[in-house]
Chains A and B, each alone.
Chain A
Amino acid sequence: MSAIEVRGLRRSYGQREVLHGLDFDVEPGEVFALLGPNGAGKTTTVEILEGYRERDGGRVTVLGEDPGVAGTGFRARIGIVLQSSAVYPSLTVSETLELFAGYYPRPRDPGEVVRLVGLEEERDARVRILSGGQLRRLDLGLALVGDPELLFLDEPTTGFDPAARRRAWDTILGLRELGKTVLLTTHYMEEAQRLADRLAILRDGRLVATGTPQELLSANGTVEIRFRRGGEDVVLRTDEPTRVLHELTREALAAGDELDELEVRRPTLEDVYLELTREEGT
């Protein structure tokens, strides 16, 4: 059974429909990334799966339950990083983690979680004085402290410095090793590429692509060959880079030309993402 099953998911705010029927599955033990521009509907989708928001149509199953009606037993099995939320400013980092650990039947050791998210030095600092990135790390710690099977991470590393981000990636990869399932959203393509077993790209409330990073790259991945000739930029896209390059260089050699600024580029995930989420007419 899939950890998450979504079929025909619809949601409107007032008259405006922002999710127009999503279908996807997340398998147990998989890290699944949901990508998409601002306002695409990522948070709406994730919060429906967490049980915070209602849906207007479609079927949603999370760990075998309908999150819209699931109770405390369900919430003991999931961990959540919300896109925006807060904790009590007057508690310290350790107190906050211990408080949340106490809500779960089989929590992790809060001291270990402090180390995991790199807040050892801030252990006894009040939440009030934490920096934005430190707060975000505490948030990640709170999602981990209940030792859940399934984690929802809505832009978990936004505001992290590069070192903290690497550490968070290691933590998330460590979760996968433990067999946990992770659904995350992110605007960082490198993060998606590093972490995700599979990903889905959302645009205006519709999925425009789903698959492994490799599948997305090959499906949309024509190689780009760029160079300058006669003062003009030339860009060629091809599925047969070897042949095209060979012909180009042979012609140039024969004519005694130089292919200025010659460059052969495989598209990155970011290129594919930008291509797939481009607004019509731009």
Chain B
Amino acid sequence: MRLLAHELRNQQRLFWRSRESAVFTFAMPLALLGLLGAVYGDREIDGVDGASYLLAGMLGYGIVATAFAGLAIHLVIRRESGVLKRVRGTPLPAAAYLAAVILSTLLVIALQTGAQLLIGRFAIGADLSVAGGGFAVAVLLGTLSFAALGLALTAAVRSGEGSSAVVTAVYLPMVFVSGAFFSVERLPGFLEAIAGVLPLTYLLEFLRGSLVDGEGIGSAWTPIGVLLLWAALGIAVALRTFRWEPRSA
């Protein structure tokens, strides 16, 4: 426990000192919410007010950017530079290190969620009807699933320099296809089929349900099930493929 707290403090310090994480994974979703909300907030999207639609979308986008993309990029860079190998040679248990990384991500996302809700409610006037329990589960489960997938993704990236490009190529299309930025009613058939299995699609459904329609966990078994499946897949792959030493060595 002491080790976990020690490492969690360190991971927080590292996150906020990195300009990329502070700007791109923390500030960017907030800025986009303000911006898109100002433009589309008054329209109706998919039967709800634009501001609410975008709030849920940017929450999902923020979770993916932080827990999936940011986590994977940072871990690949640390692995390739040899930091992870150095840490692995100390008595800090591997599980404590990864738990600290994930908890740190969760903390960032909690902060961001608070900020998103404030912007959504007061800056762009989202018309919310929040089911607190369902919403908390949505954020938590979304974060953990995407963190597991982020850990799994690190094995697919071979170099620190390439990590940003590869990870972006995976997550940005998902963000669009799943409908974080705009409604996906009118997607071509094959994209709709892809969207139908992507975890973000279900996270967004869960977030919208609990945030806009006031639906509790009871009406979210489908998204919960799908997210758990993706989480299980991520954990299974990560357990087999996660590496602490540079791949390029």
A residues near B (Cβ < 8 Å) are 50, 52, 72-73, 75-76, 78, 80, 82, 84-88, 90-91, 95, 99-100, 102-105, 142, 146
Within the complex, what minimum Cβ distance (angstroms) separates A94 from chain B? 13
Q: Which residues of A contact B14 (CB under 8 A)?
A: 88, 90-91
Q: Mark B222-249, 1 if CB is under 8 A from A, else 0.
A: 0000000000000000000000010001
A-B contact pairs, 16 of them (CB 8 A): A52-B88, A52-B89, A75-B89, A80-B86, A85-B83, A85-B85, A85-B86, A87-B83, A90-B14, A91-B17, A102-B3, A103-B3, A103-B90, A103-B91, A103-B92, A146-B90
A80 to B87, CA, bound (A): 10
A87 to B90, CA, bound (A): 13
Q: Which of B6, B18, B85, B91 contacts A52 (CB 8 A)?
A: B85
Within the complex, what minimum Cβ distance (angstroms) separates A135 from chain B? 11
A50 to B83, CA, bound (A): 16
> Would you call B82 an interface residue if the criterion is a C-beta within 8 Å of the partner chain's C-beta atoms?
yes
- In the complex, the chain B residue whose C-beta lies closest to that of A143 is B89
A82–B90 touching, CB < 8 Å:
no
A85 to B78, CA, bound (A): 10
Q: In the complex where A75-B89, A102-B6, A103-B92 touch, is A91 in contact with B83 (Cβ < 8 A)?
A: no
Within the complex, what minimum Cβ distance (angstroms) separates A47 from chain B? 10
A122 to B151, CA, bound (A): 34
B91–A86 touching, CB < 8 Å:
no
Q: Dominant SS at the A interface?
A: loop
Within the complex, what minimum Cβ distance (angstroms) separates B25 from chain A? 15
Q: Mark B1-41, 1 if CB is under 8 A from A, else 0.
A: 00100100010011001100000000000000000000000
> Would you call B81 an interface residue if the criterion is a C-beta within 8 Å of the partner chain's C-beta atoms?
yes
Q: Which residues of A contact B114 (CB under 8 A)?
A: none
A86 to B81, CA, bound (A): 6
A82–B6 touching, CB < 8 Å:
no
Within the complex, what minimum Cβ distance (angstroms) separates A132 from chain B? 14
Q: Dominant SS at the B interface?
A: helix
A90–B90 touching, CB < 8 Å:
no
> Would you call B133 an interface residue if the criterion is a C-beta within 8 Å of the partner chain's C-beta atoms?
no
Within the complex, what minimum Cβ distance (angstroms) separates A81 from chain B? 10
A72–B18 touching, CB < 8 Å:
no
B91–A142 touching, CB < 8 Å:
no
B89–A104 touching, CB < 8 Å:
no
Within the complex, what minimum Cβ distance (angstroms) separates B19 from chain A? 9
A82–B91 touching, CB < 8 Å:
no
Q: Mark B72-103, 1 if CB is under 8 A from A, else 0.
A: 00000010011101101111110000000000
A75 to B3, CA, bound (A): 14
Q: In the complex where A82-B82, A86-B83, A87-B83 touch, is A100 in contact with B13 (Cβ < 8 A)?
A: no
B89–A90 touching, CB < 8 Å:
no
A179 to B101, CA, bound (A): 37
Q: Which of B3, B17, B92, B93 contacts A90 (CB 8 A)?
A: B17
Q: Which residues of A contact B88 (CB under 8 A)?
A: 52
A100 to B83, CA, bound (A): 12
Most buried by A among B3, B89, B245: B89
A80 to B90, CA, bound (A): 8
| 9 smallest beta-carbon distances between A and B, as pairs | A85-B82, A76-B91, A86-B82, A103-B90, A86-B81, A72-B91, A90-B17, A102-B6, A103-B92
A146 to B91, CA, bound (A): 9
- In the complex, the chain A residue whose C-beta lies closest to that of B85 is A85
